[in-house]
Amino acid sequence: MVLARASRVLGEEPYYHEFLEGLERVLTPAGVSVLVKVVTDRDAESETYERWAAEGHVGGVVLLDLVPDDDRVELVGRLSLPAVVLGAPSTAPGLPTVWTDDAGFAREAIRFLASRGHESIGHITGPATFAHTQLRRAGAEKEAQARGVRLTHAVADYSYESGRTATAELLAASPTAIVCDNDVMALAALETLRDRGLSVPADISVVAWDDSAQCQLAVPALSAMSHDVGRIGELGARALLDAMAGAPPAVYEAPAAHLVIRASTR
């Protein structure tokens, strides 16, 4: 698999460590090794796939962070390189996908906060070009509209520093709660709010996305949309083994996320 985010972001994010552990739990007993290559952009990623296909040393790949009409879908087909997509089936026609309901889970987060009386909510998203970002944003907006909630977005890149910048940007809209699209940015939000003299959750509530161990260790402990990331990795591995064996494309639905309520929400 190839990871195309900057190395500084990958080092911060627990999500990928848990995902890789899930992959290895299934692939290693099957005699398949996991190769991770960090690249800086899509061109370098495409060049890597072409080289791997030409050399014949890599049996399959996992595609992450797809954008609408992602050219990698056509590329792996042209290269006859077995591939599995982590994302919505609509982003990768003809390829097996491990699907998580990003729009539905975003709606659940907004619904929870609205039920707690929040009428102005901030949302720190990942890059706007990513399909899963667009799905989360659309789901959050739909629920906010249904609940009569004012929703303000700020775009970041999943890193800690971008989370701090986005939190400061959102404060201009005076939200009483903030939903963050990963745990690292939620931790950044906690620190930024503390620096501004705001108390969590007395002044503002914070909800994280993946529910890594960092959420439980944070002060205050972070409420989060809890995903079984290790299980998602296991599903990705099984889907990849099926693809390498020539099985027809299928949708492998990940376990539903659920909201874990902790001290960061009032």
In tens, the pLDDT along 176-219 reads 999 999 999 999 999 999 999 999 999 999 999 999 999 999 99
Residue with tokens 């969590």: 200
Decide if 264 is inside a domain. no
Query: pLDDT value at position 7?
Result: 46
**Residue 246, domain extent:** 2-100+228-255
Q: Are 139 and 250 part of one and the same domain?
A: no
pTM above 0.85, yes or no: yes
Decide if 168 is inside a domain. yes
- As given in the structure block, the two tokens for residue 213 are 């161990």
Residues 227/210, Cβ–Cβ less than 8 Å: yes
Decide if 183 is inside a domain. yes
Model pLDDT for residues 114-164, shown as the tens digit of each residue: 999 999 999 999 999 999 999 999 999 999 999 999 999 999 999 999 999
CATH number of residue 156's parent domain: 3.40.50.2300
Among candidate residues 127, 133, 82, 80, the one with its CA nearest the CA of residue 105: 133
Q: Are 9 and 63 part of one and the same domain?
A: yes
Q: Are 147 and 211 part of one and the same domain?
A: yes
Contacts of 136 (CB under 8 A, 6+ apart): 102, 103, 105, 106, 125, 181
Query: pLDDT value at position 9?
Result: 55
Could you give the 3-state DSSP secondary structure of residue 15? helix
CB neighbours of residue 166 within 10 Å: 26
Minimum mean pLDDT range among 38-47, 79-88, 247-256: 38-47
Q: Are 35 and 61 part of one and the same domain?
A: yes
Q: Are 199 and 157 part of one and the same domain?
A: yes
Domains of the chain: total: 2
Q: Are 117 and 209 part of one and the same domain?
A: yes
Task: Measure the CA dihedral 41/45/51/53, to 10°.
Answer: -170
Decide if 18 is inside a domain. yes
Among candidate residues 23, 69, 79, the one with its CA nearest the CA of residue 240: 23
The strand ranges marked E within 75-233 are 83-86, 97-99, 120-125, 150-155, 177-180, 205-208, 223-226
Decide if 52 is inside a domain. yes
CA 81, CA 104: separation in Å to the nearest integer?
31
Q: Are 109 and 221 part of one and the same domain?
A: yes
Whether the pLDDT of residue 10 is over 90: the answer is: no
Query: pLDDT value at position 12?
Result: 72
Decide if 27 is inside a domain. yes
Decide if 6 is inside a domain. yes
CA 170, CA 100: separation in Å to the nearest integer?
27
Decide if 10 is inside a domain. yes
For residue 55, the 8-state DSSP code is H
Q: Are 78 and 115 part of one and the same domain?
A: no
Paired with 123 in beta bridges are 153, 179
Model pLDDT for residues 215-263, shown as the tens digit of each residue: 999 999 999 999 999 999 999 999 999 999 999 999 999 999 999 999 9
Whether the pLDDT of residue 11 is over 80: the answer is: no
Calculate the alpha carbon distances from 37 to 1, 4, 40, 42, 157 in Å.
7, 8, 10, 13, 19
